[in-house]
């Protein structure tokens, strides 16, 4: 520990401030994210502290990652115990935690016999694996089209980026893997056209449709009711895969293990593939691909895919501990209750700047009447709240699943203070 302290202490021996850390950051860390808003040094439950000692209520949870908040004793004990027993073995070998995690995910997903799990390090890696699976679907002997939705965000690695819709993310890295079409968000008529005989004759068959039940990065936009059921019928009729990206919405974030399991969201559908990450490890990097049924589970054969760290026993232990706490503490019901309270309190806050609150569970967007989300997020940080301006007119809230009712009311009280600015500024 003393060696670590030497590395994170100012050469003078003084305790570094946020400003000092930020200066060091800008000279050492690649500038892909811009300067950090704050430099955080510790966390406890739903709170984090910066290097100046200021406390913040974390309403973002590392972008929907820290399901159990910070420094949860069960999670830290599980990670420590596993690392002290067996840390990494490669995928030439299996481990009990890897196997138990795969079995647990199949149970939570209520996956049928023949289903299988591929463990990854992250969400984008899970999407990459799912994307490769679509190349193994050969309707009519052809490599089929892969459909995704306008507004979609599936990651920033090249395959996942091809599925991501935002031009600013895509264009600097084109050409991207081909065969991807983006159709209008939530528009069943547009989906019908993409699967129509005319479209198949002109552009080829459809191999897969990839969708998020709630688009997180696009401003927490839920798919309209009935959309996934319609998509299931079309994909089944075409022999195409229905792939649900639940990287952000999975593992209890919406008050169910998976968003599609809400009847009003999924309509009882069973997908072919689900991708997971973020909250799965409670802050430890781990992702997964669940393939439903024998057909999807055998699309990637031996030697056709791999990963060095996926299935790492420490990551698997973290995921098992996270799932165990969610089950033990009844956090799915808690998320539904506190999430509804959070939404209601913000809606009743009376702020003229708040237009609506949309989302589910503990994944919400506070939609503003003006494109001033960046200003609002900056004001929240000054007030001791961590939020995310996910769109020019939307603030994303994705707090730990352990958020209390009192903490939800604190968040709502902040929105009650918002007034309509006279000179709005757009989010950079």
| Percent of the chain whose predicted confidence (pLDDT) is above 70 | 95
Contact predicate 349/416, CB 8 Å: yes
The architecture in CATH of the region 37-66+330-417 reads Alpha-Beta Complex (3.90)
Binding residues for N(2)-acetyl-L-ornithine: 156, 307
Residue 116 to residue 129: CA distance in whole angstroms:
13
Q: Cβ–Cβ contacts within 10 Å for residue 81, how many?
A: 12
241-245 β-sheet, strand order = 116-120, 287-291, 273-276, 241-245, 206-211, 145-149, 180-183
0.85 cut: is pTM over it?
Answer: yes
Residue 24 to residue 40: CA distance in whole angstroms:
14
Type and span of the H or E element at 158: helix 158-163
Query: pLDDT tens digits for 120-176?
Result: 999 999 999 999 999 999 888 889 999 999 999 999 999 999 999 999 999 999 999
Phi, psi of 13 (to 5 degrees): 90, -5
Query: pLDDT tens digits for 90-113?
Result: 999 999 999 999 999 999 999 999
> DSSP labels for 54-113?
-EEEESSHHHHT-TT-BS-HHHHHHHHHHHTT-----TTS--HHHHHHHHHHHHHHTPPT
Binding residues: 123-124, 153, 156, 245-248, 307-308
- Which parts of the chain register pLDDT below 50? 428
Contacts for 159-166: CB closer than 8 Å, 24+ residues apart: 159/127, 159/128, 159/131, 159/132, 160/124, 160/127, 160/128, 160/131, 162/131, 163/127, 163/131, 163/210, 166/217
Binding residues for pyridoxal 5'-phosphate: 123-124, 153, 245-248, 308
Residue 364 to residue 386: CA distance in whole angstroms:
14
Type and span of the H or E element at 236: helix 227-238
Residue 200 to residue 401: CA distance in whole angstroms:
44
Q: What is the DSSP letter of 179?
A: -
Q: What is the DSSP letter of 45?
A: B
Q: What is the pLDDT of residue 122?
A: 97
3.40.50.10490, 3.90.180.10, 3.40.640.10, 3.30.300.130: CATH of 75-329: 3.40.640.10
Contacts for 113-117: CB closer than 8 Å, 24+ residues apart: 113/294, 114/293, 114/294, 114/297, 115/290, 115/291, 115/292, 115/293, 115/294, 115/296, 115/297, 116/291, 116/297, 116/298, 117/288, 117/289, 117/290, 117/291
Q: What is the pLDDT of residue 15?
A: 73
Q: Which residue has the tokens 């707090």?
A: 399
Report the 3 state secondary structure along 305-350: CCCCCCCCHHHHHHHHHHHHHHHHCCHHHHHHHHHHHHHHHHHCCC
Domain ranges of the chain: 37-66+330-417, 75-329
Q: What is the pLDDT of residue 428?
A: 47
Tokens of 243: 């792939």
Q: What is the pLDDT of residue 13?
A: 65
**Residues sharing a CB contact under 8 Å with residue 110, sequence separation 6 or more, in sequence order:** none
């Amino acid at each position: 520990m003393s060696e670590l302290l030497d590395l994170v202490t100012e050469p003078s021996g003084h305790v570094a401030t946020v400003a000092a850390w930020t200066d060091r950051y800008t000279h050492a860390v690649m500038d892909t994210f811009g300067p950090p808003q704050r430099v955080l040094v510790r966390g406890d439950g739903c709170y984090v502290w910066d290097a100046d000692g200021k406390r913040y209520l974390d309403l973002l949870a590392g972008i929907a990652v820290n399901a159990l908040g910070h420094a949860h004793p069960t999670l830290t004990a599980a990670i420590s115990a596993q690392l002290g027993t067996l840390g990494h073995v490669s995928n030439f070998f299996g481990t009990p935690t890897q196997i138990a995690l795969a079995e647990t995910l199949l149970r939570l997903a209520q996956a049928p016999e023949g289903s299988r799990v591929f463990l990854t390090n992250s969400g984008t890696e899970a999407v990459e694996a799912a994307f490769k699976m679509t190349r193994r679907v050969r309707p009519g002997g052809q490599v089929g089209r892969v459909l995704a939705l306008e507004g979609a965000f599936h990651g920033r690695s090249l395959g996942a980026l091809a599925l991501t819709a935002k031009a600013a993310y895509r264009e600097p890295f084109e050409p991207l893997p081909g065969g991807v079409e983006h159709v209008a968000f939530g528009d069943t008529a547009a989906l019908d056209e993409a699967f129509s005989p005319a479209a198949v004759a002109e552009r080829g068959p459809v191999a897969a449709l990839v969708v998020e039940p709630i688009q997180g990065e696009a401003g927490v936009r839920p798919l309209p009711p009935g959309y996934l059921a319609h998509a299931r019928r079309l994909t089944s009729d075409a022999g195409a895969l229905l792939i649900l990206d639940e990287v952000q919405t999975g593992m209890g974030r919406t008050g169910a293990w998976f968003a599609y399991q809400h009847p009003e969201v999924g309509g009882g559908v069973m997908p072919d593939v689900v991708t997971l990450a973020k909250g799965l490890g409670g802050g430890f990097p781990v992702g997964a691909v669940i393939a439903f049924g024998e057909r999807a589970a055998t699309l990637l054969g031996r030697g056709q895919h791999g990963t060095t760290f996926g299935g790492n026993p420490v990551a698997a232990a973290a995921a098992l501990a996270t799932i165990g706490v969610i089950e033990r503490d009844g956090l799915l019901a808690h998320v539904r209750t506190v999430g509804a309270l959070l939404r209601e309190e913000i809606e009743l806050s009376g702020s003229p700047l708040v237009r609506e609150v949309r989302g589910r569970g503990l994944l919400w967007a506070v939609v503003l009447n003006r494109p001033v989300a960046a200003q609002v997020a900056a004001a929240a940080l000054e007030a001791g709240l961590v939020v995310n301006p996910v769109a020019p007119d939307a603030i994303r809230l994705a707090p730990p699943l352990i958020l209390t009712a009192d903490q939800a009311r604190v968040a709502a009280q902040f929105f009650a203070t918002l007034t309509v600015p006279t000179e709005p500024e757009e989010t950079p």
